[in-house]
Amino acid sequence: MKVATLAQEDWVDEVVFGALVKETLHLGAKKYNDEREILKPLLQAPDMKSVAKNGDIFRVTIADYVPLRKVSGMIARQIGLTAIEILQETLLFYGLKSPRIAVVALNSNAGEGGLVGREEIDEITPATQEARTIRVV
């Protein structure tokens, strides 16, 4: 993929994707859920995330283009921490001197103390707390 070569040779700093019908990524011999699955091995960037910007709001997600039933299995402390770090780096790149990052819950009412799920208790909160100790959040 040409964009990977351009990035590796420092010809580009960022890559912007237009709309893509994800179904087309399943037509070839290899099946991909999104563009990042193609680029991660080419760029040797296993933690690559998409960052979206809408006005003054930036967002990074942990589980793009997967069925909703698989999302809870993708929630892990290190993955959350990596997403927070990537967003922090992006915000600094865009010139925000002291960016503030909000981390959302997965479950209704943040899991209701474990009654509706433990992802907040076991994974999301520890990732957020760790990010604070290294001054990311």
The number of distinct structural domains making up the chain is 2
State residue 88's pLDDT score.
Answer: 92
pLDDT band per the 50, 70, 90 thresholds, residue 52: confident
Q: Are residues 35 and 60 in the same domain?
A: no
State residue 39's pLDDT score.
Answer: 86
Q: Are residues 56 and 68 in the same domain?
A: yes
For the chain, the average pLDDT equals: 87
Q: What is the spatial distance between Cα 137 and Cα 131, in angstroms, rounded to a whole number? A: 6
Q: Which residues pair with 54 in a beta bridge?
A: 57
Nearest by Cα to 100 from 50, 57, 133, 63 = 57
Q: Are residues 59 and 20 in the same domain?
A: no
pLDDT at residue 43 greater than cutoff 60: yes
How deeply is 55 buried, as exposed, middle or buried, from its count of CB atoms within 10 A (0-12, 13-18, 19+)? Answer: exposed
Q: Are residues 10 and 74 in the same domain?
A: no
Q: Are residues 34 and 92 in the same domain?
A: no
pLDDT at residue 125 greater than cutoff 90: yes
pLDDT band per the 50, 70, 90 thresholds, residue 136: low
Secondary structure of the chain in the HEC alphabet?
Answer: CHHHHHHHCCCCCCCCCCCCCHHHHHCCCCCCCCHHHHHHHHHCCCCCCCEEEECCEEEECCCCCCCHHHHHHHCCHHHHHHHHHHHHHHHHHCCCCCCCCCCCCCCHHHHHHHCCCCHHHHHHHHHHHHHHHCCCC
Q: Are residues 15 and 3 in the same domain?
A: yes
pLDDT at residue 123 greater than cutoff 90: yes
Q: Are residues 43 and 104 in the same domain?
A: no
Q: Are residues 12 and 66 in the same domain?
A: no
pLDDT at residue 121 greater than cutoff 90: yes
Nearest by Cα to 35 from 46, 23, 45, 25 = 25
- The percentage of residues in the chain with a pLDDT greater than 90, rounded to a whole number, is 24
Q: Are residues 28 and 72 in the same domain?
A: no
Q: Are residues 94 and 37 in the same domain?
A: no
Q: Are residues 33 and 90 in the same domain?
A: no
Averaged over 91-113, what is the pLDDT? 89
pLDDT band per the 50, 70, 90 thresholds, residue 137: low
Q: Are residues 79 and 22 in the same domain?
A: no
State residue 119's pLDDT score.
Answer: 93
pLDDT band per the 50, 70, 90 thresholds, residue 4: confident
Domain range for residue 16?
Answer: 1-48
